[in-house]
Each structure stands twice: as structure tokens, then as C-alpha cells.
């Protein structure tokens, strides 16, 4: 429990088809600035990634982007804000973002966002980290995914305490507050020292 110095935000390199997603990205950026929370993110300057990073940077907080070399021409258009680290691979990118963050938030996004979100959830389940993870469920975007997690519990594939790893809310302010109040279960499949991320 407590306040965060740095939050990792996973989100799309597209804007989506609905203005509500753009508004949510801007609102999250403003909420991070309001709480004096720094940002680590995927390093892109386009889509929701660009909006969040620019809002946080121009609001006066530190921004660190981590992007694999192969995605630089795809996700960086013009100048990125803050500091940008070029990673050698997606694995290195995700490990570095996880290492730097005190908590994780997923905005709407595509396969890449969902991959990052699911991996960081799995890492928490395995005991690799005990940092809070939140889903900003804008306009019901993540309803089906959250429902799948509930189905996993119902069918015996996800333990109820592991389901509690993921918190969700429909507003940035409410989500960050829930993340600050999160108490990890400290279930651990293997000793932390056996993993590459602590």
C-alpha cells in the first residue's frame, strides 16, 4: 500500500475508433501529473501511447519510454518526449518496464497491450513481483477479458486469490486509488531469486 513514484502504462499505438479512448488516455496522463507520478511506457509517440506520454511530460513529470529496436520505425513518428531506451528485444523491453515501475495500468489496446498485461499478471501469480496491476476499463473495453478471468476461476484454472491480482475501474482516479490500496497475496510458486525480474 502507498503512493507510487513510477507507473508503467500499457496502451495502444492506435487511437481506437471512439473519442472516449482518447479522452481516457489524456485523463490518465493528467491524473498521474496531479499525483506527481512518473511514467514508464512502451516508447511510442503515436496513438494512446503518445497522448499519455506527452501529457505526463508536459505536465512536469519524468517519462521513460522503452522500445525494441525493431519497432522504432513503426511506433515513433516525430520526436518522442522524455528519455527513450532502445531495447534489443520485446523480452528486454518488458523486463525493463517491469523493473522500473511500482504499479501497472492497462488502457485499451491491441494484441501488444494484452500480451504485456497478461504477462505481468502471470509474473505476479508466479511470485516474480508483488506490484499492483490495474485495468482502466473504458466503455466496457475489457469486460470480456475480465469475464474470461472469472470463467477461469469458475472452471478451476485460476485460483480465487490469483483473480484478485487484477483490479479494474472505469476512471483513472478511482483506479489509481484502488492500486494504492492493493494488498498482495504473496503467493509464490518459486523463490524470487530464481527469476530475472524482482
Q: What CATH number has the domain bearing residue 15?
A: 3.40.50.450
75-99 per-position pLDDT tens digit: 555 567 889 888 888 889 899 999 9
Query: Does pTM surpass 0.75?
Result: yes
Rounded to whole angstroms, the Cα distance separating 167 from 63 reads 24
Give 74 or 149, the one with higher predicted confidence.
Answer: 149
- CA 73, 74, 79, 83 dihedral sign is negative
Rounded to whole angstroms, the Cα distance separating 33 from 106 reads 17
User: Within a domain: residue 189?
Assistant: no
User: Within a domain: residue 188?
Assistant: no
User: Within a domain: residue 190?
Assistant: no
102-138 per-position pLDDT tens digit: 999 999 999 999 999 999 999 999 999 999 999 999 9
pLDDT band at 198 (very low <50, low <70, confident <90, very high): very low
User: Within a domain: residue 15?
Assistant: yes
User: Within a domain: residue 43?
Assistant: yes
Print the domain residue range for 15. Answer: 8-182
- pLDDT at site 90: 87
Q: Is 129 helix (H, G, I), strand (E, B) or coil?
A: coil
The domain tally of the chain equals 1
Amino acid at each position: 500500500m502507498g503512493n507510487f513514484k513510477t507507473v508503467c502504462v500499457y496502451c495502444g499505438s492506435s487511437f481506437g475508433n471512439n473519442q472516449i479512448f482518447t479522452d481516457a488516455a489524456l485523463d490518465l496522463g493528467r491524473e498521474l501529473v496531479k499525483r506527481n507520478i512518473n511514467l514508464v511506457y512502451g516508447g511510442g509517440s503515436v496513438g494512446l501511447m503518445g497522448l499519455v506520454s506527452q501529457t505526463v511530460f508536459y505536465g512536469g513529470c519524468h517519462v521513460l519510454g522503452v522500445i525494441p529496436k525493431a519497432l522504432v520505425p513503426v511506433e515513433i513518428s516525430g520526436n518522442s518526449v522524455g528519455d527513450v531506451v532502445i531495447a534489443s528485444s520485446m523480452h528486454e523491453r518488458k523486463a525493463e518496464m517491469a523493473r522500473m515501475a511500482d504499479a501497472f495500468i492497462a488502457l485499451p489496446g491491441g494484441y501488444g497491450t494484452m500480451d504485456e498485461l497478461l504477462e505481468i499478471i502471470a509474473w505476479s501469480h508466479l511470485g516474480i513481483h508483488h506490484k499492483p496491476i490495474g485495468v482502466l476499463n473504458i466503455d466496457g473495453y475489457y469486460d470480456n477479458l475480465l469475464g474470461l478471468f472469472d470463467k477461469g476461476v469458475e472452471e478451476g484454472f485460476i485460483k480465487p486469490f490469483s483473480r484478485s491480482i487484477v483490479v479494474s475501474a472505469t476512471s483513472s482516479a478511482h483506479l489509481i486509488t484502488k492500486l494504492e490500496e492493493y494488498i498482495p497475496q504473496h503467493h509464490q510458486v518459486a523463490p524470487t531469486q530464481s527469476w530475472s525480474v524482482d
